[in-house]
Amino acid sequence: MERVLPFRFDEKEGVFWLLDQRKLPLEEVWVPVRTAREMAEAIRAMVVRGAPAIGVSAAYGMVLAHLSGEDPEESDRLLRQSRPTAVNLFHALDRMRAHWGDLEGSLEEAWALWREVEATERAISLHGAKVLRGQVLTHCNTGPLATGGYGTALGAIVEAHRQGRVAHVWVDETRPYLQGARLTAYELKKAGVPATLITDNMAGFLMAQGRVDAVIVGVDRMALNGDFANKIGTYTLAVLAHHHGIPFYAALPLSSVDPSLESGRGIPIEERSPEEVLELRGVRIAPMGVAAYHPAFDLTPHRYLTGIITEKGVLYPPFAEALRDALGIA
Ligand code: MRU
């Protein structure tokens, strides 16, 4: 599969280059990031997005802090404030904390984190491919652009297609940021997987017609009982799939599980600017003066999940036990 990665690191120049995901697929523009402060702003503005990709970028943000002489504590604080929902950001920064003041150590840790993302996603793709068949529906973007590796849910879809199990993908456009239309459609096209774009409100009609065999999505943060936050619209899909008796899977690295949360109630849900709803790619679509609401994620209760696809295999209910086992916690 041809993979487009969301970033590359030029160690000699001390620059972390981000592929500007706000401009894809119409333009491929690379943005240089030289400081942790700039990285925090790039994550906030969604130049780079997707839970694992945010984690790797934040780790390199700390590398840049060392290279550019910024205070590690202040850099860590700025990066932690960039986006609240994906736990990978905090997980990566926790790991980098052990190397504050140590450039070599921070370089090694960031590189190790990136390599782990690749290895876990290869495993997730292979495990996930086994449970998918026919026509699958996915939401948001969970491919290499969202991770820096092979992708989670989209990695499994591409692998299942390679194995001849998945024939076709329904791609939710994913309003308001259009990750599905702009990024997933772009990645599936590059991977040579037949895909059809739909707007988010078409899923129920397709399910009722028997044209969806499985739904698979990614995860920004999962609690220990399997409740999870993912892109706004995921919950709606979960309820629809449940109603129609269609298998519904979440794919994630175990590092996206927050062991401090027993249930999804404590997951912080990011609220973004209403402008992103009032406009479509910068073009105003609603009358001036109209209010808009923009939660960027929603919460899906674990009871709607058929299985949780991880690097250690596919977990089935009861999820609280299965997740604890997989994480090795009592
Ligand atoms: O707001 P985004 O684009 O960062 O949201 C991304 C998602 O919701 C993905 O589904 C999630 O991060 C999983 S990525 C493998």
User: Of the residues 70, 103, 120, which one is the last residue of a structural domain?
Assistant: 120
Any ligand 1 atom below 6 A from CB of 51? yes
**Structure token digits, residue 168:** 């076709």
Q: Does residue 281 lie in a domain region?
A: yes
Work out which ligand 1 atom sits closest to the CA atom of 296. Answer: 1
C-alpha 151 – ligand 1 centre gap (Å)? 11
Distances (CA, A) of 110 to 36, 241, 255, 310: 13, 38, 15, 22
209 and 265 housed in the same domain: yes
200 and 88 housed in the same domain: no
Provide φ and ψ at 316, rounded to 5°: -120, 165
Any ligand 1 atom below 6 A from CB of 157? no
Give me Rg for the CA atoms of the chain: 19
pLDDT digits (tens, 9 = 90+) for 165-175: 999 999 999 99
**Structure token digits, residue 11:** 């160690």
Any ligand 1 atom below 6 A from CB of 85? no
Any ligand 1 atom below 6 A from CB of 180? no
User: Of the residues 75, 93, 120, which one is the last residue of a structural domain?
Assistant: 120
93 and 110 housed in the same domain: yes
164 and 133 housed in the same domain: yes
C-alpha 86 – ligand 1 centre gap (Å)? 8
- Residue 318, pLDDT score: 98
- Residue 330, pLDDT score: 81
Any ligand 1 atom below 6 A from CB of 179? yes
Q: Does residue 2 lie in a domain region?
A: no
Distances (CA, A) of 179 to 109, 185, 189: 29, 9, 14
Work out which ligand 1 atom sits closest to the CA atom of 88. Answer: 12
Look at the pTM and tell me if it is higher than 0.85.
yes
Q: Does residue 297 lie in a domain region?
A: yes
pLDDT digits (tens, 9 = 90+) for 144-155: 999 999 999 999
CATH of residue 296? 3.40.50.10470
Distances (CA, A) of 15 to 30, 166, 285: 11, 39, 37
pLDDT at 1 exceeding the cut of 70: no
140 and 242 housed in the same domain: yes
Residues with catalytic function? 220
Q: Does residue 131 lie in a domain region?
A: yes
86 and 203 housed in the same domain: no
202 and 299 housed in the same domain: yes
142: which residues sit within 8 A by CB, 6+ positions away? 50, 151, 152, 153, 154, 155, 184, 217, 218, 251
Any ligand 1 atom below 6 A from CB of 231? yes
C-alpha 274 – ligand 1 centre gap (Å)? 19
Most informative mutation of 179, 186, 257, 273 for ligand 1 (most atoms within 8 A of CB): 179
Domain that holds residue 32: 7-120
Report the share of the chain in percent with pLDDT over 70. Answer: 100
pLDDT digits (tens, 9 = 90+) for 39-77: 999 999 999 999 999 999 999 999 999 999 999 999 999
Annotated binding site: 49-51, 83, 179, 230-231
49 and 196 housed in the same domain: no
Domain count, the chain: 2
Pairing state between β 166-172 and 195-198: parallel
50 and 196 housed in the same domain: no
Q: Does residue 317 lie in a domain region?
A: yes
Q: Does residue 1 lie in a domain region?
A: no
pLDDT digits (tens, 9 = 90+) for 102-130: 999 999 999 999 999 999 999 999 999 99
Work out which ligand 1 atom sits closest to the CA atom of 252. Answer: 15
Work out which ligand 1 atom sits closest to the CA atom of 152. Answer: 15
152 and 108 housed in the same domain: no
Write the residue with the smallest CA distance to atom 15 of ligand 1: 142
CATH of residue 32? 1.20.120.420
Write the residue with the smallest CA distance to atom 5 of ligand 1: 50
C-alpha 232 – ligand 1 centre gap (Å)? 10
pLDDT digits (tens, 9 = 90+) for 201-251: 999 999 999 999 999 999 999 999 999 999 999 999 999 999 999 999 999
Helix (H) or strand (E) segment spanning residue 18: strand 15-19
User: Of the residues 94, 120, 146, which one is the last residue of a structural domain?
Assistant: 120
Q: Does residue 308 lie in a domain region?
A: yes
Any ligand 1 atom below 6 A from CB of 49? yes
Annotated binding site for substrate: 49-51, 83, 179, 230-231
Q: Does residue 109 lie in a domain region?
A: yes
87 and 135 housed in the same domain: no
98 and 152 housed in the same domain: no
Any ligand 1 atom below 6 A from CB of 251? no
